């Protein structure tokens, strides 16, 4: 039995869809079962269980009888640590953790949080695999309202390159490991898309797909942080986002690997494919 957390989220919902297509016995851990998309299309092998990371009793009952966990969440350390501890209590044999460029001394708060979770996981004795992803292409959906309203977007990543990955490929890599975990115990994979992308490339792809010019308006990180807060982004998230974009400008995300193809047997999706498939969201 595989348990997928965050099963209504970007990575988790795709992981459930893929495991359903393979008829793998799977439990989808969700706060609200009514929010599971395409529920009627899921195979009989998919069980939806309601629970909350903040309620350990719901974790223990969801993890009973589970062999492998795909752990994806907003990565609040106390919550993921609660899942890990419950997995140990329930005799789970392997955990696949979705993570980022975690580091205990990162200026970005959420990366320090991921490092805390990883450090805890390493102390438990549980077999595990880390999927350290570059930025998701799905983050571009946050630019869609501005693209629609202003034919452009604000960004503080300069001309920094990013090996952006489609979150569906993160899910595919997680499922490949979860269905045959033994060989992947103790490994960390660094997941990227097929190419290094700048926000100028993103503006150019959007312009070509929409048939009119989309402008990349470059701003400083402090201006960007303020703009995100004005737009309603919580202050802590805006701060972390602005720091991460500043790091991109400095080349921090300019890394590519072949790990997705090695794990899944399929090349990861490109920016062009993503924009073509989702252009309605920006039109
Ligand atoms: N975005 C990026 O560029 C990027 C890059 C590298 C790594 N990552 C990593 O990817 C992970 C996030 O993945 P994602 O984008 O798929 O997440 P997401 O779309 O934000 O989904 C989060 C999921 O967690 C669930 N959740 C939130 N609070 C919960 C609670 N208290 N109890 C139970 N479930 C709860 C949400 O359920 P509801 O539907 O009920 O809210 C949702 O299903 C993080 O570890 C992040 O570090 C992201």
Structure confidence by residue, pLDDT tens digits, 200-249: 999 999 999 999 999 999 999 999 999 999 999 999 999 999 999 999 99
DSSP bridge partners of 162: 197
Same fold, 2-125 and 134-165+191-254+265-283: no
- Mutation choice for ligand 1 from 15, 28, 32, 73, CB with most ligand atoms inside 8 A: 73
Where along the chain do its domains lie? 2-125, 134-165+191-254+265-283
Q: Residues near 91 by Cβ (< 8 Å), separated by ≥ 6? A: none
Share of the chain above pLDDT 90, in %: 99
Q: Which ligand 1 atom is nearest residue 110's CA? A: 47
Residue 196's alpha-carbon distances to 122, 142, 160, 164, 257, in angstroms, are 31, 20, 9, 7, 11
Mean pLDDT value across the chain: 97
- pLDDT score of 38: 86
Share of the chain above pLDDT 70, in %: 100
Residue nearest to atom 18 of ligand 1 (CA): 9
Torsion angle defined by CA atoms of residues 77, 81, 84 and 88, in that order, rounded to the nearest 10 degrees: 170
Which fold would CATH assign to domain 134-165+191-254+265-283? UDP-galactose 4-epimerase; domain 1 (3.90.25)
Ligand 1 centre to CA of 57 (Å) is: 21
Structure confidence by residue, pLDDT tens digits, 44-94: 999 999 999 999 999 999 999 999 999 999 999 999 999 999 999 999 999
Q: Is the pLDDT of residue 43 over 90?
A: yes
- pLDDT score of 71: 98
Q: Which ligand 1 atom is nearest residue 73's CA? A: 24
Dump the DSSP string for 193-214: -SS-B-HHHHHHHHHHHHTS--
- Mutation choice for ligand 1 from 3, 4, 5, 6, CB with most ligand atoms inside 8 A: 6
Q: Which helix (H) or strand (E) is 180 found in, with range?
A: none
Which fold would CATH assign to domain 2-125? Rossmann fold (3.40.50)
Mean per-residue pLDDT, 142-170:
98
């Amino acid at each position: 039995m595989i348990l997928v957390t965050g099963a209504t989220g970007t990575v988790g919902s795709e992981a459930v869809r893929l495991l359903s297509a393979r008829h793998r016995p799977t439990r989808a851990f969700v706060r609200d079962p009514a929010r599971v998309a395409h529920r009627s299309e899921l195979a009989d092998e998919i069980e939806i269980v309601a629970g909350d990371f903040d309620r350990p009793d719901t974790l223990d009952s969801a993890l009973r009888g589970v062999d492998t966990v795909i752990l994806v969440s907003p990565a609040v350390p106390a919550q993921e640590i609660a899942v890990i501890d419950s997995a140990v209590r329930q005799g789970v044999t392997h955990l696949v953790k979705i993570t980022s460029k975690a580091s205990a001394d990162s200026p970005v708060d959420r990366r320090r949080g991921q490092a805390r979770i990883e450090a805890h996981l390493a102390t438990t004795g549980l077999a595990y695999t880390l999927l350290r992803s570059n930025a998701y292409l799905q983050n571009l959906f946050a630019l869609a309202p501005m693209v629609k309203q202003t034919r452009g977007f604000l960004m503080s990543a300069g001309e920094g390159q990013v090996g952006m990955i489609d979150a569906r490929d993160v899910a595919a890599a997680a499922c490949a490991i979860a269905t045959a975990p033994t060989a992947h115990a103790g490994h960390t994979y660094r997941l990227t898309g097929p190419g290094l992308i700048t926000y100028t490339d993103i503006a150019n792809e959007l312009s070509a797909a929409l048939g009119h010019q989309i402008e990349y308006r470059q701003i400083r990180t402090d201006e960007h942080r303020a703009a995100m807060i004005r737009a309603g982004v919580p202050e802590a998230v805006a701060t972390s986002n602005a720091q991460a974009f500043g790091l991109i400008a400095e080349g921090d995300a300019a890394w590519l690997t072949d790990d997705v193809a090695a794990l899944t047997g399929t090349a990861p999706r490109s920016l062009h494919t993503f924009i073509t498939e989702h252009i309605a969201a920006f039109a």
